[in-house]
């Protein structure tokens, strides 16, 4: 299992969290803490870059849901970018592919500014 690293940067649309490693039971709490510590403004878009995630279990999926709930509470949007095939498969199985906005890459996720404060 790989340790989880989270790097935060700003884009014109809002914060981008670059996540690398395993998003599992041992490491998912770090993502939940990082997300809930973010100060989001209405109309921003929180983007989670999952391109370097090697493994994601149910704890990781729960952390993604926590991130979405945090964005919704702030009247912001949330998007997933570069979701690995094995993780997108899990999202489809549990129906969360209809809940999360998924982009092919971070550039696409941060290209267009959100149009309103409600997801």
Residue 57, domain CATH: 3.30.750.24
At 2, the pLDDT band (50, 70, 90 cuts) reads confident
CA dihedral angle for residue 75, residue 87, residue 55, residue 33, rounded to 10 degrees: 10
Residue 116 lies in a domain: no
Q: Which residues constitute the domain of residue 34?
A: 5-111
Residue 119 resides in a domain: no
Contact of 102 with 83, CB cutoff 8 Å: yes
Q: Which stretch of 66-70, 72-76, 84-88, 112-116 has the lowest confidence by average pLDDT?
A: 112-116
Q: State the pTM of this model.
A: 0.91
pLDDT at 115 over 80: no
What gap in Å lies between CA 60 and CA 57, rounded to an integer?
5
Name the DSSP letter for residue 81: E
**Model confidence band, residue 6 (pLDDT cutoffs 50, 70, 90):** very high
**89-104: per-residue pLDDT in tens?**
999 999 999 999 999 9
In a domain, residue 41? The reply is yes
Please indicate, yes or no, if residue 24 is contained in any of the structural domains: yes
Q: Specify the number of domains making up the chain.
A: 1
């Amino acid at each position: 299992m790989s340790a989880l690293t989270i790097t935060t940067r700003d884009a014109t649309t809002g914060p981008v969290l670059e996540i690398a490693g395993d998003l599992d039971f041992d490491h998912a709490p770090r993502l939940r803490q990082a997300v809930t510590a973010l100060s989001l403004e209405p109309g921003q878009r929180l983007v989670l870059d999952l391109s370097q995630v090697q493994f994601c279990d149910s704890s990781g999926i729960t952390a993604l849901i926590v991130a979405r709930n945090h964005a919704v509470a702030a009247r912001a949007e949330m998007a997933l970018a570069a979701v690995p095939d094995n993780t997108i498969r899990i999202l489809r199985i549990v129906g969360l592919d209809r809940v999360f906005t998924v982009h092919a890459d971070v550039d696409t996720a941060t290209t267009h500014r959100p149009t309103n404060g409600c997801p």
